[in-house]
């Protein structure tokens, strides 16, 4: 696995405002219990991004 990888990170602040960002992470950044998945290809439909 590369040292860093791109991830879509969805987070929510104390006021329950949601934010979405593409970010660089390392395996050490993952929370305990997360699952590593090898994805070869994917698509996103327009409605999925709304």
pLDDT class for 15, splitting at 50, 70, 90?
very high
* 23 φ, ψ (degrees, to nearest 5): -140, 160
Q: Tally the C-alpha atoms within 13 A of residue 34's C-alpha that lie toward its C-beta.
A: 9
The answer to whether 23 and 5 have CB atoms below 8 angstroms apart is: no
Is the predicted pLDDT of residue 6 greater than 70, yes or no? Answer: yes
pLDDT at 13 (0 to 100) = 95
What pTM value is reported for the model?
0.53
Q: Mean pLDDT over residues 17-31, rounded?
A: 93
């Amino acid at each position: 696995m590369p040292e860093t990888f791109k991830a879509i990170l969805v987070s929510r602040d104390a006021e329950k405002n949601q934010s979405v960002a593409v970010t660089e992470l390392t395996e050490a950044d993952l929370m305990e219990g997360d699952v590593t998945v090898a994805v070869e290809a994917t698509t996103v439909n327009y409605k999925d991004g709304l």
